[in-house]
Structure 1
Amino acid sequence: MFGLVTGMERQPQWLRPWGAIARWTLVLSLLGGVGVVSKARSQSYPTCQPPLNDEYLVLVVTEDEGAQNRVRALLSPQMNGTVCNYLNDIVTRIGGFETVELANQWAQYLGENSGLSTFVASPPPRTSGGNPVTPSVSSPGRFDPRPLREGYAVLVDYFNNPQVAVQLNQILNRDIGLVSYHQKPYLLAMWTEEEGEANRILKQLGDRGFFVLVVDSRNVFLLRGALTLY
């Protein structure tokens, strides 16, 4: 839900509805493990506000006061970190970045120095149009989940809508895989060893309104190398 970066170990009701939905384009830098936070605890915090127009956010997973204090100590005086609830994760939201490069630099800096997971988020373009007929997606074959090789994985959250896989196949003209990332299914749009290529696809898909992540592929488990679309 948040294109990233060098050195990676690597929706709520927004301005418009989330899900069908005003999505953020994400760049994800996994520089630490994402813990399990109780839903009730995370909901005690306000929902994170989305980025403003032409603004990039850095979100850091800060599940407790100690983590929040570590992040706060790393911020420059003019920065304001707000603790909020993002998809039932407790995060510290830092806004005001004018370029994705600057946001990525801060995400990497905060992740490396705090040991916490960091996200970069940017608003997608406004899109319009009706909902197309949803075809079926099947994934036959032997179930043999295995981690991807070292590199960058471009993942797309399809929100249980198989039409997303069909659209990706048409746009990228390549097979679309199915993967698991932190025990959540995603479509695999691309694996590459080149950060620049991963970020290019991230921007291409993000500009079309897809919910895209670029992550360390070693944390991604391949479920199906190519989905059968019909």
Structure 2
Amino acid sequence: MTGLLGGAFQPLAGIAQTSLPSCPPPATAEYLLLIRGEDAADRDRIVSVLPQENPVLICEYAGEVIVRAGGFTQLETANAWATYMDDIEGYEAFVSVEPGQAEPIAYQPQPLRSGYAVLVDYDHSLATVAAVERLIDQPVGLAAYQQRPYLLIEHTEDAVTAVEQLEQLSQANFIAVLVDGEQVVRLTEAIAAIATEPE
């Protein structure tokens, strides 16, 4: 289960490596995503899934090695990624906040209703996010479909609207798909909130 960090990780025997740095605490107004991988292969997979623009560090926390993803300025976005890592990728993930920060209500992802969902495979690239948003002139969200993250471009009951959106994206050389909305889980309303300046 995802949530705010509070001694949530239980140490794994034999994982801690003294050569690794201790995980730095979050900066002011920053939310950290901490993900537990049991071995190097797990941690490599976690790093490959995270947004490329977010600073990622493999470090030691509470006697074990975890993956630390920084640079989140919105709790909703950090919680959405924690939920994705936990529910879709199968890795225990938590959000850590700066000491003294108020503990907000966690974001809860929701399955879409019936209808059509237009998705774009963005390969975890915020450059693709920005290009799609310029094309359609509106923010895009993050969604999970068949255990993979996608940009959620459109959710509509109108098949004609969905097909037109799909064609617009395909003509612009984006990898777009049209799927049953009930098979899609919306993770966050605006994936662009992930974009932050490097630490």
Common fold by TM > 0.5:
no
Flag the structure with higher helix content: 2
